[in-house]
Amino acid sequence: MGMGQTGLGVLYRKELADHIKSKRFVIILLLVAVTGLGSAYSAAQGIQQAIAQEGNKFVFLRLFTSSGGSLPSFLSFISFLGPLIGLALGFDGINGERSRGTLSRLLAQPIHRDAVVNGKFLAGITVLAVMLISLGLAVGGLGIIMIGIPPTFEELMRILIFIFFTIVYMSLWLAISLLFSLLFRQTATSALAGIALWLFLAVFLSLLAGLVADGLFPINDQASISTAMYNQQVRQNLSRLSPTQLYDEATVTILNPGVRTLGPILPSQLEGAIPGILPLGQSLLLIWPHLTGLIAINMICFTIAYIYFMKQEIRAG
Amino acid sequence: MRTRISSKYCSKKILLSFTLTFLILIFQAVSVPFSTEMNAVQAQDVLTISTPYSGITVKAGETVEFPLDIENSGMSSQNINLSVKSIPEGWEGSFEGRGKKVHQIFVKNKNSQSVDLKIQIPSETPEGNYQVIVAASGKSVSDTLTLDLKVKKETESQGKLIAQYPELQGAGGASFKFRVDLTNNRSKDQSYSLGAKVPRGWEVSFSPSYENKKIASISLEPDKSQGLDVEIRPPEQVKAGKYTIPITAVSPNEQLSTELKVVITGTYDINLTTPTGRLNVESYAGKEKVTTLIVENNGSADLKDVKFSSWEPTNWSVTFEPEQLDVLPAGESKEIKAYIKPDNKAIAGDYVVKLTASTPETSSDIELRTMVKTSTVWGIVGILIIVLLIAGLSWTFKKYGRR
């Protein structure tokens, strides 16, 4: 990028420092650490019994997927908290500076204008990555201590891919919140808009998808198997408009090698199938569209925010 | 003598009569031997001894009977003596009638009487022509009859060795039990040693019927027969086919043989496997995958019409090349190819495909664990989409970035 990115490094470091020093970050980190470690701890306790019963194939991955006792699994905690963390890191990114009057001052510096938005985004991703990698390592370390089995190479790879997915997913929400912080002047508005979108995509879209699917292909007593199939397909494809759905499907697949397909399947497709596990490559191929979709939405959101920011008129407050 | 004229006349009469008497005497003297001969000719007509079969062929050791007919055609009824006038040395001849030995019979005038002549021929009699003369003699007449006997060795019938069912069929590894009857047709006891000519590895044993003893020889009385069980046990690794096993019963006098046939149908054993023994293959959904298979004939019979079939999940297809083998010789193996094409919509993971090689007799199958992989095409498409997005983003940077 050369000269075009003048000031990006400076702004990136400044944003990073701002994040880490902020009370908001400490709260988020505590929230994630407590829930993550708590769920992993309870999962590990359940695993100890499970090993004795079922053998120890991909035991380490169960640390992330199984829910022990009353706590939900690590995976579902992250899936639930991830969007909130992304939103929390970015909802006041631009309009907060604007309301504090620091944006025009910032732009008066001898830096390129795009360095501001790029720096904010990259710093946000870095904070997310650091947080998730350290959380992942902490959970892994806790797991080794508690169940006494180190992860195999494949398990390690699957965990790393899972963390990568989570970073992509959270940065998507970061991009969305940055966009909202540009669109709305009030930080409260942009925060609410982000939460509203998250609620819609995480909760209501799947309900809506079910309504549409049932309307198009009603399942009643006379419903044929193909109707049921179409119903399920419509429901699933509509739900997949939500990045939450994409992320859930992808992480379940990557952390559970036994998952062979995500869509509805006919009994005929199961004929001759042997219950078994998919190799990492095959699991990855299965969720490749999800990864592509998540990265694409991420980049599109950021690009829109970028263009919007670059075209915006900024006056000294 | 003159004084008696009358006497002279008388003496002439006496002379005449004397001469006549003399003449008659001479005549008689001349005629006596002649008439005696004439009497003999007359006697033959009177007593006749005959048989319808005056020359027969016999074998040594045999006892033959000749029915004799003694006819009295002219004489008064009288006793007729019967005798054997000439007989080869060692032979015995006797007349029998009604089960009794007879040496004299009474024949009425113009009547006939029959009697049997029994001749025992010793078994050591060499071949040749022999004559036996019998005579019948009455008071003044007699008759003889010459019987011609031809002793021949060939006429002695051979013993017999006959199998009830000379051809048996069975699978390799089984044993075959033949029932054979051995008959001694000779006139004296014979001891037969039993034997068989078999290929290497085969076993043959003889035992008398209904007995478990295994015997190597057997002694048989004349005109007796004995059932024998011949058990033939082929070697384990025998190849299918028809085997002829000659068995013999040898006595000092004769050699009897017969052929037993064993048809071994062979064992049928087919095995389907892969060259490496690996039973898993990897394949992509909707893409045909070639798998090499080995079909082995582990049996002893040639396998004919080896067909290949498969069980696969719905919408999969499995084809073989070649689709069938006309013949797979015993002990050989052949490589075939199976083309497995998973369903286009097959979800990734492991499936079972069962491949079977079968003949009407036997079959073998393997379960191939087929791993269906997702095609990487869509993965590449995904990467392309992201590359396009990166290109779009950098274009955006270039367009809007210089402010």
- To the nearest whole Å, the CA of A24 is away from the closest chain B CA by 30
Q: Is residue B38 part of a domain?
A: no
Which pLDDT tens digit goes with each residue over A209-224?
Answer: 999 988 888 888 777 8
Instruction: Give which of B237, B230, B231, B229 is closest to B173, Cα–Cα.
Output: B237
Q: Is residue B60 part of a domain?
A: yes
What ipTM was estimated for this complex? 0.74
Predicted pLDDT of residue A55? 58
Predicted pLDDT of residue A93? 86
**In the predicted structure, residue A1 carries a pLDDT above the cut 50:** no
Which pLDDT tens digit goes with each residue over A158-194?
Answer: 999 999 999 999 999 999 999 999 999 899 999 999 9
What is the separation of C-alpha B219 from the centre of its chain, rounded to a whole number of angstroms? 20
Distances (CA, A) of B38 to A186, B160, B279: 183, 59, 120
Domain boundary among B151, B169, B193: B151
Predicted pLDDT of residue B38? 45
Confidence of residue A123 (pLDDT cuts 50, 70, 90): very high
**Which CATH number belongs to the domain containing residue B81 in this structure?**
2.60.40.10
Mean pLDDT of A120-142: 92
B104-107 sheet: strands from edge to edge: B55-58, B142-151, B128-137, B78-86, B104-107
Residues of chain A contacting B374 with CB distance shorter than 8 Å: 282, 285-286
Q: Is residue B286 part of a domain?
A: yes
One-letter amino acid for residue B185 of the chain? N
Task: Please tell me which of the candidates A4, A282, A296 has its beta carbon nearest to residue B348.
Answer: A282
* Same domain flag for B368 and B285: yes
Give yes or no for B178 touching A (CB within 8 A).
no
**Contacts by residues B212-218 (CB-CB < 8 Å, ≥ 24 positions apart):** B217/B191, B217/B192, B217/B193, B218/B182, B218/B191, B218/B192, B218/B194, B218/B249
* Same domain flag for B251 and B312: no
Which pLDDT tens digit goes with each residue over A81-122?
Answer: 899 999 999 898 888 888 888 888 888 888 888 888 889 999
Higher pLDDT, A49 or A277: A277
* Same domain flag for B240 and B325: no
- Give the domain range for residue B200: 160-264
Predicted pLDDT of residue B56? 85
Q: Which residues pair with B78 in a beta bridge?
A: B107
Q: How far apart are CA A39 and CA A266, in angstroms?
A: 35
Domain ranges of chain A: 2-267+274-311
Q: Is residue B114 part of a domain?
A: yes
Task: Please tell me which of the candidates A288, A299, A310 has its beta carbon nearest to residue B382.
Answer: A288
Residues of chain B contacting A274 with CB distance shorter than 8 Å: 349-352, 369
* Same domain flag for B145 and B201: no
Instruction: Give which of A204, A201, A184 is closest to A192, Cα–Cα.
Output: A184
Considering only alpha carbons, which residue of chain B is nearest residue A310? Answer: B400
Which pLDDT tens digit goes with each residue over A221-263?
Answer: 777 888 888 888 888 889 889 999 999 999 988 988 888 777 7
For the entire predicted model, the pTM comes to 0.65
**A272 to B347: CB separation less than 8 angstroms, yes or no:** no
Considering only alpha carbons, which residue of chain A is nearest residue B312? Answer: A272
Q: Is residue B360 part of a domain?
A: yes
* Same domain flag for B370 and B274: yes
* Token pair belonging to A218: 């009603």
Contact yes or no for A158/A254 (Cβ under 8 A): yes
Give yes or no for A165 touching B (CB within 8 A).
no
Taking each continuous run of H as one helix and of E as one strand, the counts in chain A are 15, 1
* Same domain flag for B116 and B59: yes
**In the predicted structure, residue A317 carries a pLDDT above the cut 50:** no
Give yes or no for B389 touching A (CB within 8 A).
yes
Domain boundary among B151, B185, B215: B151
Q: Is residue B400 part of a domain?
A: no
Residues of chain B contacting A311 with CB distance shorter than 8 Å: 400
Q: Is residue B373 part of a domain?
A: yes
Give yes or no for B373 touching A (CB within 8 A).
yes
Give yes or no for B385 touching A (CB within 8 A).
yes
List average pLDDT for each run of 10 residues in chain B, which is 403 residues long. Answer: 51 65 58 47 66 84 84 82 87 86 85 87 84 86 86 69 86 83 83 88 89 89 87 83 89 87 84 87 87 87 87 88 87 89 84 89 88 81 89 85 60
Q: Is residue B394 part of a domain?
A: no
Give yes or no for A235 touching B (CB within 8 A).
no
Q: How far apart are CA B261 and CA B180, in angstroms?
A: 13
Peptide bond into B322 cis (omega under 30): yes
| A–B CB contacts, 8 A cutoff, strictly below | 101
Distances (CA, A) of A276 to A102, B350, B351, B372: 58, 7, 9, 12
Min mean pLDDT across A113-117, A267-271, A294-298, B160-164 is at A267-271
Predicted pLDDT of residue B8? 54
Which pLDDT tens digit goes with each residue over A277-287?
Answer: 888 888 888 88
How buried is B209 (Cβ within 10 angstroms: 0-12 exposed, 13-18 middle, 19+ buried)? exposed
**B393 to A299: CB separation less than 8 angstroms, yes or no:** yes
- What's the total number of domains in chain B? 3
Residues of chain B contacting A265 with CB distance shorter than 8 Å: 347
* Same domain flag for B52 and B138: yes
Predicted pLDDT of residue B30? 53
* Same domain flag for B200 and B296: no
Give yes or no for A264 touching B (CB within 8 A).
no
Length of chain B: 403
Distances (CA, A) of A273 to A23, A268, B59, B309: 53, 10, 88, 19
* Same domain flag for B277 and B233: no
Contact yes or no for B229/B207 (Cβ under 8 A): yes
Instruction: Give which of A76, A306, A87 is closest to A196, Cα–Cα.
Output: A87
* Cα pseudo-dihedral A270, A275, A281, A283, rounded to 10: 70
